[in-house]
Amino acid sequence: MNQVLRRWNQASRAEAVGEIVACCGAAAWSAMLAERRPFPDEASLLAASDEAWLSLAPSDWLEAFRSHPRIGETSAKASMPAQSASWSRQEQDGVSTSTEPVKATLADANRAYEQKFGHIFIVCAAGKSAVEILAILRRRMQNDEDTELRDAAEQQRQITQLRLKKWLGI
């Protein structure tokens, strides 16, 4: 069994919740996973993560969204766990290396998105350039609120899976 998972399975509930929240940002998700321990292997944890995520209320999804910096931001929120901030920087590497005009256009598009939908733009940015992310943002601006919330939730699910794998070292 994975050493991280073994240790986490044996941690107190509070420690387990506190450690894994950086992977998602939703307190209810973290609590659900901590309650379902022990997990026999990484695949079981990853499957349980998806199951827990999909069972959450939209308010929990929005809580997870608030745990992210905006795409293109270089500073983390004070409330963001250090590990989550580090992962965000890595995931947004394609944005950090883009030109200033592209970054400015992305910042403007982020503001327009937030005005329309009331939450930050969430995209699984790993491996994507700023230009690709901008195209995705522009396409999703055509969504209605319900469709966009579900699209954003799916992106958060993907981000959570990536972060769980990083946390587990797999």
The pTM score is 0.91
Q: Kindly state the percentage of the chain with pLDDT values over 70.
A: 94
Question: Mean pLDDT across the stretch 132-145?
Answer: 97
pLDDT at 82 over 80: no
Give me the domains of the chain, ranges plus CATH numbers. Answer: 3-168 (1.10.3330.10)
| Cβ proximity of 151 and 143 under 8 Å | yes
Please state whether the peptide bond connecting residue 58 to the residue before it is cis, i.e. omega within 30 degrees of 0: no
Closest alpha carbon to 60 in 139, 141, 160: 160
pLDDT band at 85 (very low <50, low <70, confident <90, very high): low
